[in-house]
Amino acid sequence: MNKAKVKSLVSENIVVVVLILLCIGFGTASNTFFSSRNVSNILSQMCTNALLASGLTYVIILGGIDISVGSVAGVAGIIASYAGLRFPNMNAPFAILLLIVTGILVGAVCGAINGVLIAYFDVIPMICTLSTMTALRGVAFIITGGQPVYGLPDSFSYLGAKRILPTESMPNGAVPVVVIFTVIVVVFMHVLLSRTVFGRHVFAVGSNRNVAHLSGINVRKVTMLSHTLCGVTAGLCGICIASKLQNGQPNAGDTYEMFAIASTVLGGTSLSGGSGSVARAMFGCAVIAVIKTGMDLLQIYSYWQNVVIGCIIILAVVLDMAQKRGRN
């Protein structure tokens, strides 16, 4: 294998290289980094970000953006919490079903609002989702009066906090239920994007909207459905947060959109549209989770995490633009 091929291989899989280097670095600096408990915590921390990133991938491939996903998650978690209060004696399966249905419905409505405004009223995606982000966060505080929604039954926390498959080192369970749920959602989103006609239409619209329209693709419909899907995954993220906390927080999901965007772009989804992958976005989520967990283990102030994530976004954008110039 010549140098050109090696360079190309590393360039195409830079996020994997970064992830490996981070794991080696934090593993060397902390004896507990590779412990089963910490690995389980990393996977658990990835879940909310992975759900958001799986939906954001569609929108960014279209050449758009959605910064309202954190607020959508917050509203979905609150409505799910109020729904949970109406069934104080519900069992775990019913609680999971209630959470999932609520998350899908609330997320779909919020995402469809963005989709209609962007697709049919030609509102700029950044302006549209900035507006809905602000409005939905206000709705969350209005509904709750600025107070958390408490008093939920224990079964409500099964999806977000329960662990299964106990081991000697982790008698309460090694695998979080939320990880299994997230894997199911992410696999569905990946297959939908990479193996279906709709997924091919998303790439076509992101590559060139005019050409896609001339080839018979309903560009407005694809745009609206993509934003709706993004809203659904945000809603599912919100119900996972509420379930984990066993309450509904009006500020839940705040700033989560920044971590999700960073993960998606770091995973290779081009901000200019036309290319990307849900699977590769998960590597970006892993990088973010490893950085956050590693810095926590090293007792580095959480404020520095925001600085690092901001730098990662800038670096990812610079690399994206450099690769785009290289292809041209």
Sketch out the chain's domains with CATH numbers: 41-315 (1.10.3470)
Contact (Cβ atoms closer than 8 angstroms) between residue 118 and residue 132: no
The angle formed by the CA atoms of residues 123, 68 and 229, to the nearest 5 degrees, is: 85
Cα torsion 80, 85, 90, 92: sign? positive
pLDDT number for residue 163: 94
- Write out pLDDT tens, residues 276-296: 999 999 999 999 999 989 998
Question: For the segment 119-166, what is each residue's pLDDT rounded down to a tens digit?
Answer: 999 999 999 999 999 999 999 999 999 999 999 999 999 999 999 988
Burial 207-216, CB ≥16 within 10 A → b, else e? bebeebeeee
* Residue 219: pLDDT band with limits 50, 70, 90: very high
Asked if the model's pLDDT at residue 8 lies above 80, the reply is: no
Helix or strand or coil: residue 291? Answer: helix
Cβ-based neighbour number of residue 136 at 10 Å: 24
CA angle 248, 249, 254 (to 5 degrees): 135
Q: What is the amino acid identity at position 160?
A: G
Give me the phi and psi of 221, to 5 degrees please.
-65, -45
Classify residue 79 by its DSSP letter.
H
Residue 282: both structure tokens together:
């998960």
Q: Is the pLDDT of residue 299 over 80?
A: yes
Handedness of CA 41, 243, 236, 292 (dihedral sign): negative
| Residues forming beta bridges with residue 201, ordered by sequence position | none
- Compute the distance between CA of residue 11 and CA of residue 29 in angstroms, rounded to an integer: 27
Distances 159 to 21, 240, 286 between C-alpha atoms, Å: 32, 7, 21
- Nearest alpha-carbon partner for 291 in 315, 274, 324: 315
- Which one-letter amino acid corresponds to residue 35? S
Q: Cα(212)–Cα(184) distance, rounded to whole angstroms?
A: 30
136 in Cβ contact with 110 (< 8 Å): yes
Phi first, then psi: what are they for 248, rounded to 5°?
-105, 120
Instruction: Indicate whether 245 pLDDT > 70.
Output: yes
Cα–Cα dist 211/59, whole Å: 18
The confidence score (pLDDT) of residue 11 equals: 64
Nearest-angstrom CA–CA distance, 199 and 189: 10
- 328/313 Cα distance (integer angstroms): 23
Summarize pLDDT for 162-178 with one digit per residue, the tens.
Answer: 999 888 888 888 899 99
Q: Is the pLDDT of residue 272 over 60?
A: yes
